[in-house]
Amino acid sequence: MTSGLLARIERAGGGLAADLGLYLVSAVFALTTGLASTLLPHRAWGLIAAWGYAAATVLVIVQMVVRRAGSTVARAPGLPKSDFSGLGLAGDRFRAWLAWLTWGAVALVPLVVEAVQRAGGRSDRAQEEVLVVEAMGKSLVEHGTPYLSRADIAALPIDERLLGYRPYQPGMAIFGLPRALAGDHWWTDARVWFAITAVLAVGSAVAVLRPFNPFPVRAVQAATVLPVTALTLATGGDDIPVLALCLLALALATTGRFLGAGVAVGAAAAAKLFAFPVVAVLVVLAVVAGRGRRLIPFAVGLPVLALVPPLLVNLDALVENVLRFPLGHGLVTSPAQSPFPGYLVAQHLPGGRFLAAGLLGAAALVIGWLLLRRPPRDAGRAALFCGWGLLAAILLMPTTRFGYLLYPVALLVWAPALVLRNRTGSSAPRHDTALYRQ
C-alpha cells in the first residue's frame, strides 16, 4: 500500500507535484533554520538558501501551469499535437536542469559566501569539521601524518582537545592541503574542494547513466538539493564528496565499469569509514558478476594504502583518532549525540555502551548474512543493501548525527536510477552486468 501511494505521488503531474512539495518544504525548512537555528553557520545558510528554494518553487508552479495549458490545448479538436511537442518547460530535461540550478543556489552560493566571510575574519562561518580537515592537511605537511597522538591531544588546553581529534580516514587530509600550502583564502576553504569533488562525481554519475536513464531527476535531487545535503555541503561538507564518490561507483558498476567503480569507492573509503559498507556490497556484486579482479584491488587497496604513511609514522596516533575516539574511549566525548536508539541505549541503560555495540554488531551480522545468502545481482539492489544497511548502522551507533541520514536517503533514492532503461541490442554497454546473469 505504501509503495503504491508513493508511486501515485511520483506520477502526479509528471513528477511536478513531488517537486513542488520538495522545494516548498525545503524553503520552509531553510527559512526556519535561518531565523531560529542556534548554529551560526546554519543560520547563514538558511537565510540564503530560502531564496533559492523559493525561486525553485515558483518555477515548478510555472511548469505545472504550462503543462496543464499544453495538455488542454493539445486536446482541442483540429489542433495538431506536434504543435506543442517542443514545449520543454514542463519536461524532465527542464526538471533536471532546475535541480542542478537549485543546488547552485542553495548549496554552492551559501558555501562561497561563508568561505569569503570566513577568509575575511568571521570565525562563525564554518562548522568544526572544516577546521579539523584543514588541520589534518597542515599536520600531514608538517609531520607526515594527519593525526595527533594521545599525548599531544592531552597537552592541548581542555577546550581545544575535541578539535585535536581527527576521526577520519587519512585520505580526508587531501581536502585540507590547499589551505596548508597556500594559506587562508576563500578558495582554500576545505568546503570548496568538497564541492568541486562532489560536482565532478555526481555529474560524472549522471553522464554515465544518461544513455539508459536520461533524466534521473529524483536521484539528482537526493544527491544535491535536499536540505540535509545542501546544508551539510555549505556549512561542513566532509560527507558530501564521500557520498558522491559512492554514487559514482554505483553508477559505474551499473554499466559494467568495475575498474572505475573500484577507484571511486576506494577513494571514498580512503576518506571516511562510512564508505566501507558500500565497498563490501560492491565487492559482493563484482564477485557475483565475475568482475572481482577489476574492482577489488582499488576498492580495498586504496584505503589500505592510505593507512600506510600514518601507520609508519605513528601507529598509536592512528589508533587513537580512527578507533578509540569514535568508540568513546578518547580523552573527550564526541559531540555526535543525536537521540537515535543506539545513543539512547548507550546513555540510559546499565552497560548501555556495550549493549549498543552488541546491537550494532548483530545488525551487521544479519545484513552480512542476507548479503551472502541473497547477493545483489545489479547495482540497484546493491544501492538498496547499502542504504538500508547504513540506516541500521546510523540508528544503532552509540554516537551519531542526524546529518548522517543523508547517506541512506541518497542511496535509497538513487537506487531506481540504477535500473537501465531504453536498452536495445545495439546500445547495451559492452560490460553490461546483465551479460553475466545467465
Query: Does residue 400 sit in helix, strand or coil?
Result: strand
Q: Is the residue at 371 inside a domain? A: no
Give the type of residue at 8. Answer: R
Q: Is 302 helix (H, G, I), strand (E, B) or coil?
A: helix
Boundaries of domain holding 91: 10-70+87-122
pLDDT of residue 12: 58
Q: How far apart are CA 254 and CA 276, in angstroms?
A: 19
Q: What are phi and psi of 400, to 5 degrees?
A: -155, 170
Q: What are the grid coordinates assigned to 110, written together? A: 551559501
Per-residue cell: 7 = 508511486
Residue 277: inside a domain, yes or no? Answer: no
| Full pLDDT tens readout for the chain, 438 residues | 444 544 555 665 578 888 999 999 999 999 999 999 999 999 999 999 999 999 999 999 998 888 877 665 545 555 454 444 434 566 778 888 999 999 999 999 999 999 999 999 999 999 999 999 999 999 999 999 999 999 999 999 988 898 899 999 999 999 999 999 999 999 999 999 999 999 999 999 999 998 887 778 888 898 899 999 999 999 998 999 999 999 999 999 999 999 999 999 999 999 999 999 999 999 999 999 999 999 999 999 999 999 999 999 999 999 999 988 887 778 887 776 777 887 788 777 787 777 877 888 888 888 889 988 999 999 999 999 999 999 998 888 877 788 888 999 999 999 988 876 544 433 444 444 443 333
Stated pTM of the model: 0.88
- Assess if residue 18 is contained within a domain: yes
Whole-number pLDDT of residue 428: 42
For the record, the C-alpha cell of 114 comes out as 561563508
Segment 359-366 long-range contacts (CB within 8 Å, at least 24 positions apart): 359/396, 360/393, 360/396, 360/397, 360/398, 363/392, 363/393, 363/396, 364/393
| Residues 264/208, Cβ–Cβ less than 8 Å | no
Q: Is 197 exposed, middle or buried (0-12, 13-18, 19+ CB in 10 A)?
A: buried
pLDDT number for residue 435? 36
Is 102 within the bounds of a domain?
yes
pLDDT of residue 112: 97
| Distance, CA of 134 to CA of 369 (rounded, Å) | 39
Residue 77 lies in a domain: no
**Residue 7 confidence (pLDDT):** 54
**Count: domains in the chain:** 1
Secondary structure tally for the chain: helices H, strands E? 21, 0
With respect to residue 15, please indicate whether it lies within any of the assigned structural domains: yes
Alpha-carbon distance 261 to 241, whole Å? 15
**366 φ/ψ angles, rounded to the nearest 5 degrees:** -65, -45
Q: What is the pLDDT of residue 433?
A: 43
Q: Domain for residue 154, yes or no?
A: no
- Cα-to-chain-centroid distance, residue 284: 22
Task: Give pLDDT, residue 382.
Answer: 95
Q: Are 244 and 198 in contact (CB under 8 A)?
A: yes
